[in-house]
């Protein structure tokens, strides 16, 4: 199909899809006039007929002596119109009116690169960088970030199940095992240990092994921080450096043949 510019009357080939953009508004490629291409549709266009009709209309209004001496300007307009309408070698952008894409395309570009999206992307990248630095510092004991920041961050958001642990830095200060004073056939186990690492770390598992007179294992069991800590509220925190920690356990008495016990951290 074709559409005609109402200003310069230039005719261009156009498709339904092209008219569907920008609500049918197009820009003439000849005079740059903006018009609604849907309102000036021509299903069939004969360039020669258009030229003849144009000449006949003007012949009725002008006498012979009113015509320009050579008629070059009018012929040039008709020739250019026919070339634009019939030249199949031209690209769509050359032989159809320029669709008003400036605002339409600009709005898409603005949405794609909006300040809000840029800000969100930047903040997300910073948050991820801090998170990974915190993970490295927390697990590898590298002070990439201040330790208080790392501990607070990992306590709030979690840094994985396997928190940093330097078991060689956990030292037992004292330990004892005796008959429970209030419960029959039970033992009371107490110990005090300290974290000698320069940084805080997660509380370890406490393994207790009971041995008989021949050095054979009678019983062995591992206890979580929630089981052995005297102050249960510390179980979800980190073990501060050089601060004694009290542990207490109540277990069944395995018998009189138990004469030794061992403590080990995991």
Provide the pLDDT for residue 112: 54
All CATH 2.60.40.770 domain ranges of the chain, comma separated, are: 167-265
Task: For residues 237-253, give the mean pLDDT.
Answer: 92
Element (H, E) at 106: helix 102-112
Q: Is 12 exposed, middle or buried (0-12, 13-18, 19+ CB in 10 A)?
A: buried
Digit-coded pLDDT (tens) for 42-75: 766 665 544 454 454 445 444 444 444 444 444 4
What is the rounded distance in angstroms from the CA atom of residue 204 to the CA atom of residue 164?
10
Query: Which pLDDT score is estimated for 228?
Result: 95
Q: Could you name the CATH architecture of 167-265? A: Sandwich (2.60)
**212 has a pLDDT exceeding 80:** yes
User: Which are the contacts of 229, defined by CB distance < 8 A and separation ≥ 6?
Assistant: 203, 235, 245, 246, 247
106 has pLDDT over 70: no
Distances (CA, A) of 34 to 37, 83, 208, 216, 260: 9, 21, 89, 99, 99
Mean pLDDT of the chain: 72
Percentage of the chain lying above the pLDDT 90 cut = 21
- Using a cut of 0.75, tell me whether the model's pTM lies above it: no
Q: What is the pLDDT of residue 31?
A: 85
Sheet-wide strand order for 41-42: 11-13, 2-4, 41-42
Q: How far apart are CA 53 and CA 243, in angstroms?
A: 104
User: What is the average per-residue pLDDT within 219-236?
Assistant: 92
Alpha carbon distance 144, 134 (integer Å): 8
Q: Identify which of 198, 195, 194, 225 has the alpha carbon closest to the alpha carbon of residue 141.
A: 198
């Amino acid at each position: 199909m074709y559409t005609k510019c109402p200003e310069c009357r230039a005719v261009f080939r156009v498709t339904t899809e092209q008219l569907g953009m920008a609500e049918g508004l197009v820009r003439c490629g000849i005079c740059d006039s903006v018009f609604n291409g849907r309102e000036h549709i021509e299903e069939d266009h004969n360039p020669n007929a258009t030229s003849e009709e144009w000449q006949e209309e003007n012949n009725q209004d002008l006498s012979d002596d009113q015509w320009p001496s050579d008629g070059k300007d009018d012929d040039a307009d008709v020739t250019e119109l026919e070339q634009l309408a019939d030249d199949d070698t031209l690209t769509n952008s050359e032989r159809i009116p320029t669709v008003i894409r400036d605002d339409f395309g600009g709005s898409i570009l603005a949405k794609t690169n909006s300040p809000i999206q840029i800000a969100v992307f930047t903040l997300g990248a910073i948050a991820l960088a801090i998170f990974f630095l915190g993970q490295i510092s927390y697990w590898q004991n590298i002070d990439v970030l201040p330790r208080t920041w790392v501990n607070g961050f990992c306590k709030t958001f979690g840094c994985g199940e396997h928190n940093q642990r330097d078991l060689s830095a956990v030292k037992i200060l004292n330990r004892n095992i005796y008959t429970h004073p209030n419960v029959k056939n039970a033992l009371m186990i107490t110990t005090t240990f300290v974290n000698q690492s320069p940084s805080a770390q997660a509380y370890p598992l406490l393994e207790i092994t009971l041995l008989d007179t021949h050095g054979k294992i009678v019983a062995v069991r591992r206890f979580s921080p929630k089981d052995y800590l005297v102050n249960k509220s510390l179980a979800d925190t980190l073990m501060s450096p050089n601060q004694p920690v009290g542990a207490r356990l109540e277990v069944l008495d395995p018998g009189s043949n138990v004469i030794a016990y061992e403590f080990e951290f995991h």
